[in-house]
A and B are shown apart, each in its own frame.
Chain A
Amino acid sequence: MANNFYRFKFSMAFMLIIISTLVIGCKSGGKGDKEPVFDVDMEEIDEALFDNINQAKQIFYSMPSPLETAMLVKSAGAPYNEDLLNSTENTGNYTTQRSMALNLGIYTCDLSFASLYDQTQTSISYMAAAKKMADGLGILDAISEETLERLEENVNNREMIMDIVSETFMNSSSYLQENNRQALSSIVLVGGWVEGLYLATKLVDKDSFEGNKLVTRIIDQKLSLNIVMKMLEGQKSDPAVVDILNDMNQLKAIYEKISVTTSAITTSKDEETQVTTLKSETKNNFTPELFAELSAKVESLRESYIL
């Protein structure tokens, strides 16, 4: 009788473990289960675009990587200014997971920025700073000693350097995602994105505001901010994410004052190059006053991240 009782208890415990595992497993895939609201501030937006969102098994919000962010600043014609980068001497200040994740993104953006302008020695220093952050986060082998050596061996090969930067970033973010540390992975991306926005706002030539490509890039970040918000909202259970989400809300309040309208997109394919062009036009009401307000907010957020 006692034996049967213990056998029953044992079976119940086993069933509970399996059920709990299934429940946790289902929740951890959670991103795809939530119904996101895709809010782009454009004319004639048709919310019906998202009608079928629940059919998708997995939903990704893809933020610009620190590499892409730096490239957007450079391709807009911004000059190089090393004084704006987060000093590598600050690495010792970052002792929490949150600050290390933010500054992994920030240093990776700075590293990409320096690499794009062929600042090889600076690139090596910033790769070492990014390595310290990755090591601190326990990201094994994302940036190894061998990576630093490869960087040094290829100082005159920008393409190879960009490839190394991209690979190390992919190693870091995939390691965090695979180890169920998605919140930290998102924080890394936010760090890189805010750094790019900071560099862009600092490098704008205020005397040629109209038609300035860098200004256009800053306005464009309104679109990426939507994705930042959606990505962070999916990870609100992490206290570090809640803080950063509040920061992003402050940024959003300013971006909401900027109205962007776009015409319908038409496509045209070049048969020779096989490249399709998406043709459309946008208009906005961005003013130097709004720019000043946005720049000040970005600077204060970035200041709080680099400590």
Chain B
Amino acid sequence: MKRSLFIFIIVALFFALPQSGKSQCKGYAKKICKAELSPFTHDGNYHAAILTEGEEAELYKTFYSDQEYRIAICGAIGQSNIEFKIVDAHRNELYNNRNEDYTNIWDFKLDSSQQLKLVVKVLKAEDETEEPQSGCVAIMFGFKVK
């Protein structure tokens, strides 16, 4: 009986923990990351993932001409910096926050609409003696209402 209960708890935790991580990620995106978009209007989309140091996420999005955008990347992973770069369809790197002390926001506008790739990477913390840490990384977009 005790053994069955133990197994039930293990299996339940296995299903419940990722769900709990997702919910915490949403809460983090909503409370912390959305504020970074101000004074831009959040587009309402929600992109967040649990990443470990050294891991990458990619996002593809069309950005439209004559619009002003803000990208906000927020993460809660120990002391790790989050690098993000923007790459065009010709594989040219248009922006990398490494050159701006890993700032978490970037404001830009476009002369013509483009499909761009955003690559986000959680860098390994300088203190490599510790186990790699994981946490929520949220990517959010804002635009200026005209």
Q: Which residues from chain A sit less than 8 Å from chain B, CB to CB?
A: 14, 17-18, 21, 25, 36, 38, 40, 42, 44-46, 48-49, 53, 55-68, 71-72, 74-75, 116, 158-159, 162-163, 165-167, 169-170, 173-174, 177-178, 213, 216-217, 220, 223-224, 226-227, 230, 262, 264-265, 267, 273-282
Mask: chain B, 106-123; 1 = CB below 8 Å from A; 0 = not: 111111111101010000
With A58-B51, A159-B41, A162-B145 in contact, do A278 and B110 touch (Cβ < 8 Å)?
yes
Q: How many residues of B contact A (CB 8 A)?
A: 59
Please, which residues of chain B bring their CB within 8 A of the CB of A217? 64
Closest B residue by C-beta to A226: B115
Other-chain contact of B57, A45, A59, A71, A169 (Cβ < 8 Å): A59
Q: Is B30 on the interface with A (CB-CB < 8 A)?
A: yes
Q: Which residues from chain B sit less than 8 Å from chain A, CB to CB?
A: 7, 11, 14-15, 18-19, 22-23, 26, 29-30, 41-47, 49, 51, 55-68, 87-92, 94-95, 106-115, 117, 119, 139, 141, 143, 145-146
A173 near B114: Cβ-Cβ < 8 Å:
no
Additional pairs, 8, CB under 8 Å, beyond known A159-B41, A162-B145, A277-B109: A45-B90, A67-B43, A162-B41, A165-B44, A169-B45, A216-B113, A230-B60, A276-B107
Q: How far is the CA of A65 from the CA of B47 in the complex (A)?
A: 12
A280 near B89: Cβ-Cβ < 8 Å:
no
Other-chain contact of B114, A61, A167, A178, A265 (Cβ < 8 Å): A265
B46 near A177: Cβ-Cβ < 8 Å:
yes
A57 near B107: Cβ-Cβ < 8 Å:
no
B112 near A262: Cβ-Cβ < 8 Å:
yes
Q: How far is the CA of A216 from the CA of B26 in the complex (A)?
A: 35
Please, which residues of chain A bring their CB within 8 A of the CB of B91? 46, 48-49
A71 near B145: Cβ-Cβ < 8 Å:
yes
A75 near B146: Cβ-Cβ < 8 Å:
yes
Other-chain contact of B30, A36, A170, A178, A267 (Cβ < 8 Å): A170
With A60-B58, A163-B42, A220-B62 in contact, do A72 and B112 touch (Cβ < 8 Å)?
no
